Structure formats: C-alpha cells, structure tokens
Amino acid sequence: MQVKTEKAGGVTLEHRLVELAWTDPDFAGLLKSDPRRALEAIGAEVSPDVKMDIRQQRPDTLYFVIPPLAAQQEDAGTVINQMDLWQSGELFCWIMPQTLKLELLRMRQSFRRNNP
C-alpha cells in the first residue's frame, strides 16, 4: 500500500500517524493489522527486529504501560538510565529502552528524509 500524502513539510512522524489514522480508514486499518507496512507506506524505515504495538486510544479506557522486567533479578530495583523512568510529583512516564530510543530517532529521520 502506498499512501498518497501531501509533503510532510516539518510535520513529525507521530503527527502524521495520528492525522492519517483519523482521516484515512484504509491507513487506519493497515496501521492496526500491519504497523510496519503502514509506517513504511509513509516513508518511515523500520528495523526488522523491532516489534510494534500501536493502539488507538478509547475515550473510556485508562492505559498503563508497564516497563519490562530487569534482565537480572538483582537489577530489578535499579534504574540504569534515569531518563527511562521519570517521575515528577503526580506525573509518571516510562519512556523506552535506549535501543528503542535510537530506533525511534532513525524512524523519524527516515520519515523526514522521505517527506521533504
């Protein structure tokens, strides 16, 4: 599937995903059934070893994303990279592992490169 889009012109990958998921039923279906193909259709290159789970939020559902377990049990209480686990007051956010941060940066760069 090749998604015909206007040039991104400074629009972020995430913005484009949301925009197309909201306005293009075919793209929304592809995003749900095959996220890798959907991302590739808009010019984002995805490493073959990266797994994806893309969900469209529901207005009546609260979502929690639980960080993965530490590889070694003795490391379970240690935050290796403080940016991976951030909390300020009542706000909590799990960002992502370092390797996936780099993958997301590569995906964003390829999206910008393929959508000048």
Walking along the chain (116 residues) 10 residues at a time, the average pLDDT comes out as 53 89 95 94 93 88 72 61 52 65 87 88
39, 47 Cβ separation under 8 angstroms? no
What is the distance, to the nearest Å, from the Cα of residue 116 to the centroid of all Cα atoms in its chain?
21
Phi, psi of 93 (to 5 degrees): -145, 125
107 within 8 A of 17, measured Cβ to Cβ = no
Q: What local confidence, expressed as pLDDT, does residue 86 receive? A: 52
Give CA angle at 25 (22, 31), nearest 5°.
80
Say what the pLDDT of residue 82 is: 47
Residues 78 and 116: their CA atoms lie apart, in Å, by: 42
Instruction: Read off the tokens for 115.
Output: 């959508």
The predicted pLDDT at position 100 comes to 79
pLDDT reported for residue 41:
94
53-60: list long-range contacts, CB under 8 Å, 24+ apart.
Answer: 54/17, 56/21, 56/28, 56/32
Evaluated on CA atoms 72, 73, 75, 78, the torsion sign reads positive
